[in-house]
Amino acid sequence: MNGCRIKGRAVSSTLIIEMTDSAALMNDPPALRSRLQDDGYLFLKGVLPRAAVLAARREVFERLVQVGEVRAPAEAGIATGGSRRAEEATDLGGFWKSVSEGAGLRALSHGGAMTRIMDTIFGEAPRPQDYMFLRAAVPGRATGLHFDYPFFTRAHDRVVTVWTPIGAVPVSDGPLVVVENSHRYRDLIDPMIGFDIAKDSTRKADFGSDAISFAEQRGTRLLTQNFDAGDIALFGMYTAHGSLDNCSPVGRVRLSCDVRWQPQSLPIDERYFGDDPRGTTGVGYGELNGAKPLTQEWHVR
Ligand SMILES: O=C(O)CCC(=O)C(=O)O
């Protein structure tokens, strides 16, 4: 896997490998579930309709063209380097909510194809959170290593994160990266039990160390993919993950969304459901990195 960078450093080819494609197991649900349990993640190639992915991509990027952040044609997703978002959308949270709730995007993230996949994963009727983490990462942006546990396990831990590239995301553009076997790191998982990011301001979910140093110290590898439109990756609350740096040589914005799913039969964490979900800290869509103009740095939680 050439061309992978984290915090400005090239990732050596011995440290990073491709995620295993488990799409062939979609016809064998018990085997699919065992794979998720064994590996801590699933990469499912080509399981979403490509046309729906491209329609969602166009819809989101057209909104960013309107605020001067992306050049036309929208679907190419090339950043202008500027932004008029703060001037044109006085309520940045409201702007991002309306982008995140676009009909084309929701047809992809919450539609029939995704629902069938998650039904297969849980073996029972699934329910997605209404709140969505939509991410438009310009070159230079990345997400640090963390577990999702501190954000989404207030009600229970049978929660699965689905990461969906909205268009092709090759390794140069900073896709998701998962730490191989991290779901077995009891020394990190045990002290995290009970940690609620919204209630404990003394701790961060972010590991602080960069993924290269972390993987070297643990003697493990990083897993990623040259993601294509139609692919998804998913993982549970105890799998460490982050992203590669976006170092697109053409200035392309990495567009993806992550949505949490759970069995419908289980209680919900009200923060992430409903018409006006308040999100992790209670600020609604305004608390997300996505709500910032593309010219602004991302915060770390
Ligand atoms: O897309 C990213 O940058 C990170 C995704 C992530 O942290 C997640 O899906 O939980």
Q: What pLDDT is stored for residue 66 in this prediction?
A: 98
For the CA of 256, the closest atom of ligand 1 is 1
Ligand 1 atom closest to the Cα of residue 243 is 3
For the chain, list the domains and their CATH numbers: 12-286 (2.60.120.620)
Q: Ligand 1: which atom is nearest the Cα of residue 142?
A: 3
Question: pLDDT of 144-165, one tens digit each?
Answer: 999 999 999 999 999 999 999 9
Determine if ligand 1 sits within 6 Å of the CB of residue 129: no
Question: Nearest residue CA, atom 7 of ligand 1?
Answer: 242
Nearest-angstrom CA–CA distance, 102 and 104: 6
Task: Check if 243 has its Cβ closer than 6 Å to any atom of ligand 1.
Answer: yes
148 in contact with ligand 1, CB cutoff 6 A: yes
What was the pLDDT predicted at 96? 98
pLDDT for the residue 1: 87
Q: Is 161 in the pocket of ligand 1 (CB under 6 A)?
A: yes
Confidence (pLDDT) at 270: 97
The pLDDT tens digits of the residues spanning 245-268 come to 999 999 999 999 999 999 999 999
Q: What is the pLDDT of residue 148?
A: 98
State residue 211's pLDDT score.
95
Task: Give the residue from 27, 17, 300 showing the smallest Cα distance to 181.
Answer: 17
pTM over 0.95: yes
With a cut of 50, which residues of the chain have pLDDT below it? Answer: none
CA 233 – CA 225 distance, rounded (Å): 10
Q: How does DSSP classify residue 23?
A: G
The torsion angles phi and psi of 117, rounded to 5 degrees, stand at: -60, -45
Give the whole-angstrom CA distance, residue 92 versus residue 198.
21
Q: Ligand 1: does its nearest atom lie under 6 Å from the Cβ of 258?
A: yes
CB of residue 135 inside a 6 A radius of ligand 1: yes
Residue closest by Cα to atom 8 of ligand 1:
258
Find, among 277, 256, 289, the residue nearest to 177 by Cα.
Answer: 256
For ligand 1, say whether the CB of 289 is within 6 Å of any of its atoms: no
- CA 151 – ligand 1 centroid, Å: 12
Phi and psi torsions of 172, nearest 5°: -65, -20
